[in-house]
Amino acid sequence: MPGEIALSMKGVSKSFPGVRALQNVDFSLRSGEIHALMGENGAGKSTLIKVLTGVYSGDSGEIKLGGKSVIIKSPQGAQEIGISTVYQEITLCPNLTVAENIYIGRGKKAFVNWRWMEKGAASILERFQIPVKATQQLAKCSIAVQQMVAIARAVDMDCKVLILDEPTSSLDEQEVLKLFGLMRDLKSRGVGIIFVTHFLDQVYEVCDRITVLRNGELVGEYEIKDLPRVELVSKMMGKELDEISQIASPGEKKFEGEPVYEALGLSSASGVKPFDFFIKKGEVNGFTGLLGSGRSESVRAIFGADKIIGGKVKINGKEAKISSPIQAMKQGIGYLPEDRKSDGIIDDLSVRDNIIVALQVMKGFFRPFSKSEAERFADTYIEALGIKTASKNTPIKSLSGGNQQKVILARWLLTNPQYLILDEPTRGIDVGTKLEIQKIVLKLAADGVCVTFISSEIEEMLRTCSRLIVMRDRNVAGELLGSELTQDHIMRTIAGEVK
Amino acid sequence: MPKTLRRPSVSLSHLIVPLLALLVIVIFNVIHDPSFFSVSLVVNNSGNTVLSGNLVSILNGASELAILAMGMTIVTAASGGQDISVGAGAAIAGSVFVKVIKSGNSSLGLILFAFLACCLAIMLFGAFNGALVAIFKIQPMIATLILFTAGRSIAYWVNGGATPTVSGDLLGYLGGFFPGMPVPTPVFIVIATGALFALALKFTNLRLYVQAVGINSTSSRLNGINTTWIKLLSFIILAACVAIAGVIRVCRLGLINHETILLDIEMDAILAVAIGGNALSGGKFSLAGSVIGAYVIQALTTTLYALKVPSNAVKSYKAIVIIALVAVGSPVIKKLLVKARDSFLLKRKAAGGAS
Amino acid sequence: MTKNKSKQPLSDTIFLLRITVCTFFGMYILAMLIWGGGFLNPQQFLDMFNNNAALIIISCALSIVMVAGGIDISVGGIITLSSMSCVVLLDDGSSSVFMALLLSLGIGAAFGLVQGLLISYLEIQPFIITLAGMFFAKGMTTIVSATPRTAANPEFLALKGLRIKLPFLGSYGKAGNFIPSTIELGVVIALAVVAIVFLVLRWSRFGRNLYAIGGNSQSALMLGINVKRSRFFSYLLCGVLAGVAGFVYLLHTGSGDAANAAGAEMEAIAASIIGGTLLTGGVGNVIGTLFGALSLKTITSIVIASGLREPYWQKITTGAMLCLFILLQSIVLARRGKGQLALPQWLKIGAGKKE
């Protein structure tokens, strides 16, 4: 039952120094609908949302809310007229209590009524079944709880328009389901919801309509039933897509010989229980499990990124000591971290420096590469991986997410590793780059490099990995290979139904 | 990809602010009193023919500041904070230097030994500061507040509370002029220090490591950089600069007064770094900018003295100029300027397209 | 997911506050047990307030700014300038004490206004702006009066001499007569400031916004807080309070001097840190700050009581105490899960976090 137009944006443009992020984009949202906003990275979704929430001011264009033209100057202004937002990164204050985070920045009263606030917060937390006390400091909660608090805050604000900008990336399946229930409830109460996500499944599960953006321009607005998945993807990428079929499942393969890397009873201070692990030449395997199951912590332990508290490691059959990243690198291990922004890129440095840094560190402090050598390395990989950048001297922070990820990949490829760990290399990047990265992984394996691949999209893992290690509660719950590698079987192993 | 209008200009843009500041001061002086720049040869007390004039005194007087600014730049870049204990550190360095010199006749060997001794002493303190910052993850300003508070008292204790004088030809030469050389020695020491830095940046990865650590410490660690060591190193490098600056000042004055030697120099050094276009939050750095910043500060001071501003009031004027400087260089003003330029370019483009 | 914890973890603010309060009382009680004498005399305890009322006020002022992640090092300078200006105004003859108070508030407000505008709306680093502010204030002081001056206004002297007797506290003189303990007017003002700042930070929307900004200014913006305006008002309030402190300082000393309140800003920062305020912002409590200032002064009295009368011992112990607290905070916060210390392998004691 689509209602009337709750929000409309007409001819919105926005440019940044050197970049036109939005060009003449129209968007409309009815009350009581869930509207997916789709597009590759750099398509302009985030910019559109930030214009709508007053973080940026648009260069031109008109925004109408409930038929009335509005000018949104600040996030505060957006809140006041009934637009509330949940961002991908948690935008709460870690030093305040959960209750304060729900209520701060709302209302006009000069003084704070703590008791009223804590009571209100407690009832909200109960309604959303968030297992945390209202008086607890936010920093002491898990990321998923923090995200749920952010959602609870946004929903509680009695809004006409709710914007969810990739809210699900840190939630586990249960919590996503909870969120969807909530979204449907709000929808039935006439709230218009804008939902941004990279997960196609989620779009088709809850959304009514889809707006697709590409390169800062509007591609079109579609009813969900008129737009099959494949077409959506091709609309987002701007080309017909049969590339997915090019990547065949690796199927059953036998790997002979000594493991390149082998760990016995490895455990780290980040809480991962002792586990055994090996990988052989040319093999691609993966860690899977819910968020917080210890899959990232396991690979961090392999790379020596966290403090190792036990276990033995063998490289090519010989015992080795890996307790810091540099030791792992010297053994030919590379690691692309899960959190690109905080652990991967060095944002003010140029693309060139970001590419050479790992190899440079391995070479040593007193032996810098000459400028021409460094340039050559950078040029080679910018071309080989098709990194889109103005020049190799551009700071990496001005690249799009997918291209930043390619730079980090280039950094590790340059070190010519015998074992490469990729933790969520495809998270938050566009479909095209996702496929490219998967292809690179398979090509590396064919060249004899072993790769550990982690992704929250099981389909992606199935396409690339020939063996999966399933994690649950920071323990290895099982190891699947061959015919066991089906979505259904993996799910049941993660859930603990299969031993 | 969104269309690109133009490439952001990055080359040397960070030096624009300090150079502009220097230019403004120069122009002001040219208009106000052209004789400000006159340089003459005079015979000084010890019978040397030396250069004299405001330019020389700017070059000479900024020596300690320029050296400290270089070290401060490295610390700022690596740790994202500033060391406010350099003045107190210089007092310790100077006291140790004088203490060693006092123990014998001031021969070249002894001076070198004294310098090494004070270098070592102050490097220990630098390592202490560095350890607090790198190992205990304390903000640099807070960590160095400790030595800032206690440093001059430690210096007092080194020489038992006295303010001993030192004399000797060689010391005089170091703080003043070598016979037959019309340019003051401290200027050469600055050049030598700068050259050492240039060599270090050329033949090691100091720049890459320091910038990487300053921008993203976690990421640097995952790329194998020993971030703790780099931060520690930056403080030790600064400590060496402090030792040099302290010794220059002692040689200049021929005595050590632990209460007043290089008082408030930390503030000037931080200002020099900021004027030099370096972000005080760390990351990319420009040593040249900081050195220019140091000379800007000294030029300003000298100009104010030339204007017969009483020495105590100089601070006020300096403050106003500094505020004006950083206001012009502030991100908001810069953004406005870029915006104005962009709209101008767009307009011109549109006009060009229409014609 | 969080497990059902029987005990909810303490917030960082409360935890650090507890440490400070315990340390102060522990130290003072220990001093009473060991040295007795003066420490048992309530007047000596109250003198700690009498002598440091201005310090307490600026420490509180600084805490406001530090909670929002800023810093203001002009507070000491504002004391110097406003106390000197007041003396000059009072000696003018025709002016009343009330006028002097207004002047002092006005000077503070002017500094807060300009600094706040520059820092929050032009986004310039607070360290640089307030450093320039300090230079400006100290320079202006010498322009207002180059020589130290003492206030002779009778009305003011009456106020200065005012002692508020505490009838229930006191000591017995040699003749066995009861001498009631007294506090100065400044102490009343200082305690009122502590109370007001406490209320503002704890109960007002403005105060909570400051905590949010200090915790994560980007998030605070997204949560709908007017970050710039809140930040601006924090500096304005800090400036005004520094003006109050200037007047209180004058009430205690009765004279204006360019050397007044030298280094007060660093003492205030130290008091805030010992009181559990983090320079990164978002964590802190003004009650802690009060106890921080008292702890700082207690350690000085203890040093004197233990026979180390040279002033340099006081500075060294202050530095040591600061060092201890900074280390303590760092270790405590790291153990409470805010990130590990980068201690070398051989120094890691009790590996693993508690949680």
Q: According to the per-residue pLDDT averaged within each range, which of A250-254, A317-321, A337-341, B306-310 is highest?
A: A317-321
pLDDT band at B5 (very low <50, low <70, confident <90, very high): very low
| Assigned domain for C353 exists | no
Residue B145: CB atoms within 10 Å: 24
pLDDT band at A55 (very low <50, low <70, confident <90, very high): confident
Mean pLDDT of C190-205: 95
| Assigned domain for B352 exists | no
pLDDT band at A41 (very low <50, low <70, confident <90, very high): low
**Lowest pLDDT segment from A184-193, A332-341, B103-112:** B103-112
| Assigned domain for C19 exists | yes
A94 contacts C224? CB cut-off 8 A: no
Write the CB contacts of C155 (distance below 8 Å, at least 6 apart in sequence).
C96, C97
Q: Using a CB–CB cutoff of 8 Å, tell me whether B230 touches chain C.
A: no
Looking at beta carbons, which residues of chain B come within 8 Å of C311?
A: 153
- With 0-12 CB in 10 A as exposed, 13-18 as middle and 19+ as buried, what is A322? buried
Mean pLDDT of A82-97: 85
| Assigned domain for B61 exists | yes
pLDDT of the residue at C355:
29
| Assigned domain for B209 exists | yes
Mean pLDDT of A269-295: 84
- Is the pLDDT at A228 greater than 90? The verdict is no
Q: CA dist A117 to A134, A143, B218, C198, Å? A: 9, 22, 37, 19
Looking at beta carbons, which residues of chain A come within 8 Å of B285?
A: none
- Is the pLDDT at C338 greater than 50? The verdict is no
B128: tokens are 């202490």
- Is the pLDDT at B10 greater than 50? The verdict is no
**How many CB pairs lie under 8 A apart between chains A and B?**
107
What helix, strand, coil percent values describe chain B, rounded to 5? 70, 5, 25
- Is the pLDDT at C265 greater than 50? The verdict is yes
Q: CA dist A58 to A202, A291, B295, C115, C260, Å? A: 30, 37, 43, 30, 52
pLDDT of the residue at C347:
45
pLDDT of the residue at B81:
87
A353 contacts B215? CB cut-off 8 A: no
Exposure string over B14-51, b if 16+ CB within 10 A, otherwise e: beebbeebbebbeeebeeeeeebeeeeeeeeeeebebb
- Is the pLDDT at C51 greater than 80? The verdict is yes
- Is the pLDDT at C264 greater than 80? The verdict is yes
**Sign of the C-alpha dihedral, residues C61, C65, C67, C71?**
negative
Q: Is C93 left (phi over 0), alpha (psi -120 to 50) or beta?
A: left
DSSP string covering B96-157: HHHHHHHTS---HHHHHHHHHHHHHHHHHHHHHHHHHHHTS---HHHHHHHHHHHHHHHHHH
Task: Calculate ∠ Cα A41-A334-A373, nearest 5°.
Answer: 85
pLDDT of the residue at B72:
96
pLDDT of the residue at B155:
93
pLDDT band at C345 (very low <50, low <70, confident <90, very high): very low
- Is the pLDDT at A235 greater than 50? The verdict is yes
C11 contacts A93? CB cut-off 8 A: no
- Is the pLDDT at B342 greater than 90? The verdict is no
| Assigned domain for B315 exists | no
Mean pLDDT of B289-313: 90
pLDDT of the residue at C351:
35
Q: Which residue out of C228, C299, C312 would a mutagenesis test of the B interface target, given it has the greatest number of B Cβ atoms within 10 Å? A: C312
Higher-scoring residue by pLDDT: A309, B189 = B189
- Is the pLDDT at A349 greater than 70? The verdict is yes
- Is the pLDDT at B304 greater than 70? The verdict is yes
Tell me the average pLDDT of chain A: 85
B320 contacts C136? CB cut-off 8 A: yes
pLDDT of the residue at A260:
92
Give residue C16's domain range: 12-328
B148 contacts C280? CB cut-off 8 A: no
Looking at beta carbons, which residues of chain A come within 8 Å of B283?
A: 348
Mean pLDDT of B86-115: 91
C136 contacts B315? CB cut-off 8 A: yes
Looking at beta carbons, which residues of chain C come within 8 Å of B313?
A: 139-140, 142-143
Q: Using a CB–CB cutoff of 8 Å, tell me whether B153 touches chain C.
A: yes
Q: Which residue out of A79, A85, A88, A96 would a mutagenesis test of the C interface target, given it has the greatest number of C Cβ atoms within 10 Å? A: A96
B223 contacts A411? CB cut-off 8 A: yes
Residue B135: CB atoms within 10 Å: 17
Q: Which residue out of A20, A346, A355 would a mutagenesis test of the B interface target, given it has the greatest number of B Cβ atoms within 10 Å? A: A346
> From B81, which residue of chain C is nearest by alpha-carbon distance?
C127
Q: How far is C3 from chain A (nearest CA, A)?
A: 8
Higher-scoring residue by pLDDT: B249, A189 = B249
Taking the model in full, what pTM does it have? 0.82
Q: Which of residues 11-70 of B touch C (CB under 8 A)?
A: none
pLDDT band at B355 (very low <50, low <70, confident <90, very high): very low
Task: Give the domain CATH number at B73.
Answer: 1.10.3470
Task: Calculate ∠ Cα B34-B269-B149, nearest 5°.
Answer: 135
Q: Using a CB–CB cutoff of 8 Å, tell me whether C2 touches chain A.
A: yes
pLDDT of the residue at B79:
93
Mean pLDDT of B18-40: 86
| Assigned domain for B338 exists | no
> From C284, which residue of chain A is nearest by alpha-carbon distance?
A95
Higher-scoring residue by pLDDT: B88, B266 = B88
Q: Which of residues 66-105 of B touch C (CB under 8 A)?
A: 82
Q: According to the per-residue pLDDT averaged within each range, which of A431-435, B262-266, B325-329 is highest?
A: B262-266
- With 0-12 CB in 10 A as exposed, 13-18 as middle and 19+ as buried, what is A52? buried
User: Considering its fold, how many domains does chain C have in total?
Assistant: 1
* B58-81 confidence digits (pLDDT tens): 999 999 999 999 999 999 999 988
Looking at beta carbons, which residues of chain A come within 8 Å of B3?
A: 19-20
B216 contacts A360? CB cut-off 8 A: no
Mean pLDDT of A70-96: 86
pLDDT band at A386 (very low <50, low <70, confident <90, very high): confident
pLDDT of the residue at B25:
87
What is the three-class DSSP state of A427? coil
Mean pLDDT of C151-158: 88
Mean pLDDT of A417-435: 84
Higher-scoring residue by pLDDT: A224, A472 = A224
Tell me the average pLDDT of chain C: 85
pLDDT of the residue at B352:
63
Q: Which residue out of C323, C324, C325 would a mutagenesis test of the B interface target, given it has the greatest number of B Cβ atoms within 10 Å? A: C323
Spacing of C-alpha A56 from chain mean position: 23
Q: Which residue out of C4, C7, C14, C219 would a mutagenesis test of the A interface target, given it has the greatest number of A Cβ atoms within 10 Å? A: C219
User: Considering its fold, how many domains does chain B have in total?
Assistant: 1
Q: According to the per-residue pLDDT averaged within each range, which of B35-49, B104-118, C225-239 is highest?
A: C225-239
Higher-scoring residue by pLDDT: A173, A279 = A279
Q: Using a CB–CB cutoff of 8 Å, tell me whether C280 touches chain A.
A: no
B1 contacts A388? CB cut-off 8 A: yes
- Is the pLDDT at C236 greater than 50? The verdict is yes
> Which of A305, A362, A400 shows the shortest C-beta gap to B222?
A305
Q: Which domains does chain A have, with CATH numbers?
A: 5-245 (3.40.50.300), 282-292+326-495 (3.40.50.300)
Looking at beta carbons, which residues of chain B come within 8 Å of A342?
A: 216, 218-219
Task: Give the domain CATH number at C54.
Answer: 1.10.3470
| Assigned domain for B337 exists | no
> Which of A18, A358, A411 shows the shortest C-beta gap to B8?
A18
Give residue B129's domain range: 13-308
Mean pLDDT of C311-319: 84
Mean pLDDT of C197-204: 94
pLDDT of the residue at B116:
96
- Is the pLDDT at B8 greater than 50? The verdict is no
Mean pLDDT of A147-151: 87
What helix, strand, coil percent values describe chain A, rounded to 5? 40, 25, 35
Distance CA C176, CA C157 (A): 31
Mean pLDDT of C140-150: 90
B136 contacts C127? CB cut-off 8 A: no
Q: How far is C78 from chain B (nearest CA, A)?
A: 13
Chains that touch C (3 or more CB pairs under 8 A): A, B
**Lowest pLDDT segment from B38-42, B93-97, B251-255:** B38-42
